[in-house]
Amino acid sequence: MSDSKNEISDLCISCGMCCDGTLFDKAFVRDEADRKIADDLGMETFESNGKLSFRQPCHLFSSCCTVYSVARPHTCSAFFCPPVKRFRSGEQTFPDTEQQIETLRQHRDKLLKIASQFPELRDLNIRELTNKLNEYGEDTEKISKYRMLFLILFIFKDIQTKYFKPAPKDTLII
């Protein structure tokens, strides 16, 4: 494997934001063979908009993929986030790619750390937390109570939009 492939592989394994619910709430399953693999791994598959999917965060992700070396759905090995795609196409350097990924991870971690100070938010994953905060919408009492979370969420979403918004043709389906 070339150095850049090793770098990308190491970066992807250490990141996991495509698996932990940071970037997606579901991942698509390509065909019935893929569905069997997902089912065998205990992934919850379901149909959405005529496409078969499994839920994110993936229960097999625990700081890294726990089934990385075994057969897993195609999308798990074929997906690359927009920063990695830009590096692979030569549009940006590897350090820029690393920095974009690390910046989003740091803000995700800040959100979770601050949320852990509130008993009612303590055990939520990033997907559940962002959904909960979005539900609060214009509730001034909740906005006041969770003001720091809303501020970090705003920055998090800005970073996500700037660096991780997929091109219109990109989705987590391969």
Residue type, 118: F
Q: Which two tokens stand for residue 59?
A: 């229960």
Tens-place pLDDT, residues 67-116:
888 899 999 988 999 999 999 999 999 999 999 999 999 999 999 999 99
Helices (H) and strands (E) in the chain, counts: 8, 3
**pLDDT band at 174; cut points 50, 70, 90:** very low
| Residue 165: exposure state from Cβ atoms within 10 A (0-12, 13-18, ≥19) | exposed
